[in-house]
Amino acid sequence: MHHARWTPSRRTLIGTTLLVGLSGLLTACGRPPALKTGPIDIGPPVTGGTLRIGFVGGGAADTLDGAIATNLGDVARAINMYDALLYRDDDFVLQPLLATSVTSNPDATVWTAKLRPGVKFCDGRPVTSKDVVASMRRIIDPDDPKSGAASLGHLREVVALDEHTVEFRLSQPDSALDDSLGQYSITIVPEDFDPAKPVGTGPFMLQSFTPGQSTILRRNPHYWGDEAPYLDEVELLNFNDTDALINALLSSQVDAVAQIPAALAEVIGSDARMQILNSKTGMWLPFTMRTDVAPFNDARVRQAFRLAVDRDQMVEQVLSGYGTVGNDMFASFDPAYPSFPQRVQDLAEAKRLLAEAGHPDGLSVELVTAPIQAGVVEAAQVFAEQAAGAGITVKIKKMDLTSYWGDYLNYPFSQSFWYTRNFLPQANSGAMPDSPFNETHWTDKEFVALVQRARGETNEAARNRLIEQAQKIMYDRGGNIIWGFANQLDAYQSYVGGLVPNATGLPLSGFQLRRVWIGEPA
């Protein structure tokens, strides 16, 4: 576990307002001079109790439908109330969940899922292949497509072969369909599912829900796992801003908080009552340049903007060192992630490219940002400072969350965030012409052809070569500035057990709360 040294710098200034707001509480805590090196021993798991989790965000649009989860609260509800057929474990390895196996025919046009026998929904009804068929049809419903529809657009037919066997018949080969079926949004629900009265197979079930405020989940008495959840209840609490969130943690109003600012990790972690969960992930916070509008419709301009970034400085100042440098390609945990020469800041070359593209006197652009994820607004501020050296004037337009998301696919230059995914699912969601979140409006024909070939390639080595070629196109002329991969930083009270580093990028051990318990220091 790496802890960046706490030294005065611009990252300190970035968090000044928050730190000032917390100074009284932090002083009252009487923190020791050194940061703890790891979790304390609270003994073996204990059954019972309520875990209170705080996070920033949420509002009137909060949902109980795991298939359309977007914000942190939605995702926490989705993972704990429902299950997918497969899931990604702490090391980002695909593992069985409701399915014991998901396998394909030789050309990857037909996939077969074997369901785990004996699984029941939280209302006691058995899960059958008919529920899986209904769940998939619900997700890809053309009149009301859910979040996972983009990766299942080639699903021609879903057939229940028997009570525990489901066949997925595709209109084109897809060697990574199992990866898509492992996304948390591909929830398996009953045939008669009603989001207003949600029924799932997850470790917890709904007790109460007030959008934008709180959710109470209670243990599912019919949970199928080898070990039932330790907790009786989980309470998910919304907070309006990070200051209020951290204050709630320090005043013991909550037991754990999702996503703390990197600049506060040392300060909070030095409180004897607190622990920091530091997970290395493939989460990325890109700057997105629309490749179909000026000035970013010129690849030379896009490359100049990438060369304006000092990536090491960005990781140090924005993430306080809690992250790794990026190279303008996503899917860093994918076995096919290539090792091209590391792009570094080159202001002279950036200026040359801008001049060649018709901007000899530099360029002025508006960067639209919002606090959509810890570090995003800070990254905008640091980028503006760095880009000035290349003759790029960046005017930051900061919006509130609701306004930002309302039009975010249309900004010429803005920001986004993505959790850990492998290349093909990520391309399906955000880099193809028909992707629902194609933030850069990327329509490169050579890239599209390579992705389509990779989807249909069942030989792993050959598929990885195709992915590397596609990544090279992104590296050379893509619309994302991928400057780094952020660690996921959460904080919790020392009496909380079962939280471990998790590579998915999702907070608090990937929100796998069935493993968490409330104990006492041994």
Q: In this structure, what DSSP letter does residue 226 have? A: S
What's the confidence (pLDDT) of residue 465?
97
CATH 3.40.190.10 fits 45-79+202-254+489-522, yes or no: yes
Cα-based distances in Å from 349 to 312, 346, 353, 356, 394: 18, 6, 6, 10, 18
Cα-based distances in Å from 498 to 231, 258, 265, 490: 11, 15, 20, 14
- DSSP letter string, 256-309: EES---GGGHHHHHTSTTEEEEEEEEEEE--EEE-TTSTTTTSHHHHHHHHHT-
Residue type, 98: L
What is the rounded distance in angstroms from the CA atom of residue 364 to the CA atom of residue 393?
Answer: 4
Q: Which class would CATH give 83-181?
A: alpha beta
What is the rounded distance in angstroms from the CA atom of residue 336 to the CA atom of residue 48?
Answer: 43
What's the confidence (pLDDT) of residue 373?
86
Helices of type H across 182-263: 242-250
What's the confidence (pLDDT) of residue 58?
87
What's the confidence (pLDDT) of residue 423?
96
Residue with tokens 């990252």: 11
- Give 166's contacts (C-beta < 8 A, 6+ positions apart): 112, 113, 115, 129, 132, 133, 158, 159, 160
SS (H, E, C) 104-120: ECCCCCEEEEEECCCCE
Helices of type H across 361-481: 376-387, 401-406, 423-430, 445-456, 460-477
Q: Which class would CATH give 286-482?
A: alpha beta
What's the confidence (pLDDT) of residue 114?
98
Spell out the domain ranges in the chain.
45-79+202-254+489-522, 83-181, 286-482
Q: What is the pTM of this model?
A: 0.87
In the chain, which stretches have pLDDT less than 70?
1-40, 521-522
113, 102 Cβ separation under 8 angstroms: yes
What's the confidence (pLDDT) of residue 150?
83
What's the confidence (pLDDT) of residue 522?
47
What is the rounded distance in angstroms from the CA atom of residue 357 to the CA atom of residue 289?
Answer: 16
What's the confidence (pLDDT) of residue 235?
98
